Amino acid sequence: MPSYTKSEARAWAREKMLGVANVTIPTMTNDFAGLNEKAARHDIETTIAHGFVGTLACSEVAVTMAEYQRFVEVMVEQSAGRIFVVHHAVFNTLEDNIAAAKLAQAAGAELILLGYPPYFFPKSLDDIYAYTKAFCDATDLAVMLFPIPTWGFSRLSPTDMPIELLRRLVDDCPNVVSIKAEGGAPFIMGAIEAQRAFGDEVVISYPLEHEFVPLAQLIDVPFCGTNFSAYFGPWLPKVFQLIREKRFAEATAEFHRVDPARRAFAGVPQAGNGLINRMMWKYEAWLQGYNGGPLRHPTARVYQRDMTALRRGQEAAGLNPTTDADELFFIGRNPC
């Protein structure tokens, strides 16, 4: 059971969702037969050492539901209360997602990032409301809503999940505790609307570091995540703290300092047609000490040209990537 009731979920979020949360991607054994638990524990320890307050247990890879449940269990065991673990609700159907949420809750996850399946094709905003409310009603865990063009809702609203829809969900679902504000991306109007409408009620997250660092100097943004920030190592949690201390000039200098790494990240294929290249994310994190290692096929690939660009970007930004040869990424730091 979570450490809070549904009526206490928003208070829990205000206390715990203060900082930056990254993403932890499962690693398979080197024969691809099962979950590499040692790798997951390594990634949790690295996440904690880098100053993150939470991490997403990524499910958008080729794992069975049983393997995913064990993955969450290992993450929770290893974190031992030092960070919170976020369940990634992007399975195939509403029924699958409800079942997975129950498994994640039993495994110790404390927050859910709610996505939508590729074959969910709503005809109206009411259909999105019905799916979301049914999911929220079926779980005791806190839920982070996630408006983003990925789901294909842009044909219904330019901000994907407009204010009137979010208003109904915030009012009707007491365990909606946060909004990961990427609606209408790459434009920020949807995120600003969400902040203005709901910032006093739920935690608003600006998960993109290039938006968070400047905007958090103007408005209160308590949470940045879940996101790709393992690519920057401990950098973003440190900048988050500078901003909380109102050391804006230092935060701005840091923003400019890592520009070569930011541009390298933007210059390689991170996603396509709504699916993030998780192998690329694993390599980017591996450069900063995370495990790396195998993902099951089907997966997008990482080519030498991209690895070279990412490594050079980190070097130019002073992020001190590993000196290990790229070939070792494919084996991982904890082969099993």
β-bridge mates for residue 271, sequence order: 276
User: Once rounded to an integer, what is the mean pLDDT over residues 70-90?
Assistant: 98
What is residue 16's predicted lDDT score, i.e. its pLDDT?
A: 98
Residue 141 confidence (pLDDT) above 90: yes
What is residue 291's predicted lDDT score, i.e. its pLDDT?
A: 98
Q: What is the CATH number of the domain that holds 161?
A: 3.20.20.70
Residue 279 confidence (pLDDT) above 90: yes
What is residue 315's predicted lDDT score, i.e. its pLDDT?
A: 98
What is residue 21's predicted lDDT score, i.e. its pLDDT?
A: 98
Q: How confident is the model at residue 185 (pLDDT cuts 50, 70, 90)?
A: very high
What is residue 111's predicted lDDT score, i.e. its pLDDT?
A: 98
User: Once rounded to an integer, what is the mean pLDDT over residues 85-96?
Assistant: 98
What is residue 144's predicted lDDT score, i.e. its pLDDT?
A: 99
pLDDT in tens, 289-307: 999 999 999 999 999 999 9
pLDDT in tens, 198-210: 999 999 999 999 9
User: Once rounded to an integer, what is the mean pLDDT over residues 14-23?
Assistant: 98
What is residue 213's predicted lDDT score, i.e. its pLDDT?
A: 98
* Residue 301 belongs to some domain of the structure: no
Angle CA 66–72–78, to nearest 5:
135
Residue 43 confidence (pLDDT) above 90: yes
What is residue 332's predicted lDDT score, i.e. its pLDDT?
A: 98
Residue 171 confidence (pLDDT) above 90: yes
* Residue 223 belongs to some domain of the structure: yes
Give the mean pLDDT of the chain: 98
Angle CA 318–279–78, to nearest 5:
80
* Residue 221 belongs to some domain of the structure: yes
Domains identified in the chain, total number: 1
* Residue 311 belongs to some domain of the structure: no
d(CA 30, CA 202) in angstroms, rounded, equals 42
What is residue 278's predicted lDDT score, i.e. its pLDDT?
A: 98
Structural domain range at position 157: 6-245
* Residue 183 belongs to some domain of the structure: yes
pLDDT in tens, 323-332: 999 999 999 9
* Residue 233 belongs to some domain of the structure: yes
What is residue 227's predicted lDDT score, i.e. its pLDDT?
A: 97
* Residue 136 belongs to some domain of the structure: yes
What is residue 276's predicted lDDT score, i.e. its pLDDT?
A: 97
Instruction: Pull the structure tokens for residue 173.
Output: 């679902």
pLDDT in tens, 309-318: 999 999 999 9
How many CB atoms are located within 10 Å of the residue 31 CB?
A: 8
pTM summary value: 0.98
Q: How confident is the model at residue 245 (pLDDT cuts 50, 70, 90)?
A: very high
Q: What are phi and psi of 272, to 5 degrees?
A: -160, 130
Percent of the chain with pLDDT over 70: 100
* Residue 258 belongs to some domain of the structure: no
Residue 83 confidence (pLDDT) above 90: yes
Residue 1 confidence (pLDDT) above 90: no
